[in-house]
Amino acid sequence: MNLNIFNKLSLLLIILLASCATLKEQNPYLLVYPNLEGDYRYGEVVLENENVILQKLIVGAGQWEGIHSHPGNQLYVHIRGGEWSGKLDGEFEYYGEIDQDGSVGWMDAIPESAGHNSGNTGDNDIELIYVTLKKDTPLYPQNKKNTYSSINQSLELLFENERLIAHRQKLEPDQWHNTHNLPGDQLYIFIKGGQWAFKKNGELYNSQLYKAGSAGLMKKNTLEESFKYGNTGSLPIEVVWVTLK
């Protein structure tokens, strides 16, 4: 290859990469942790549509994220919990708070000028997913979406406000969630993965192995479709359900 052409292509690649980084930094829905290295600064987008974006982030043991902002309207879900400490303008706001696997919390807007910084002061990595709502108002302001409840398996309520509701559910091996209505706009996030499958009108389909931290969107289903989901593996599965209102 001609050296001049090679140099031009190399320069073009550098410009393209720099442009992508700039776009990520300007995305108002994504968190950027300046103290983390490489791709860990931006995490991984695991799901996105017109209403919501899910961003997975890992904070290593002893790491501080660096001063950053939050856009607000965010639910965080701990895949692997741990010990958190936080600072505002360099002063400790809290220290050594423990969050368990599968725990959740709500994050309001925080500007970068507040000097917000969080750190993992424990001995193990923390992995979490931020569920960030893109709209400032509920999706269904005139008719609040009814959240589903199970028939045989109870759901543990973790959090609820005017924007969403979060439940945790555990399914043992060979356990199926009975036929029920699903309202749609529901996210599922695996805290403990496993072999998960669906049935509709009695037919098994889409049996897959999901890892902890996997996420997806559940579409609307009605009782007439006899929709079920269940654990077809050999280990318990734990899922956090987030239903948008």
Could you tell me which of 39, 83, 45, 44 has the C-alpha nearest to residue 64? Answer: 83
CATH 2.60.120.10 domain position(s) in the chain: 28-133, 156-244
DSSP state of 221: B
Can you tell me the distance from the alpha carbon of 153 to that of 209, in angstroms, rounded to the nearest whole number?
A: 22
Residue 15 has pLDDT above 70, yes or no: no
Can you tell me the distance from the alpha carbon of 6 to that of 2, in angstroms, rounded to the nearest whole number?
A: 6
pLDDT at site 87: 96
- pLDDT tens per residue, range 119-177: 999 999 999 999 999 999 998 876 655 555 444 456 899 999 999 999 999 999 999 88
CATH fold of 156-244: Jelly Rolls (2.60.120)
Most confident of 1-10, 20-29, 163-172: 163-172
Can you tell me the distance from the alpha carbon of 47 to that of 237, in angstroms, rounded to the nearest whole number?
A: 20
Percent share of the chain, pLDDT over 90: 63
Q: Residue length, the chain?
A: 245
Can you tell me the distance from the alpha carbon of 200 to that of 204, in angstroms, rounded to the nearest whole number?
A: 7
Q: Across residues 6-31, what is the average pLDDT? A: 55
pLDDT at site 23: 43
State the chain's mean pLDDT as an integer. Answer: 84
pTM: 0.84
Strands 44-48 and 52-59: antiparallel
pLDDT at site 110: 95
CATH code 2.60.120.10 for 28-133: yes
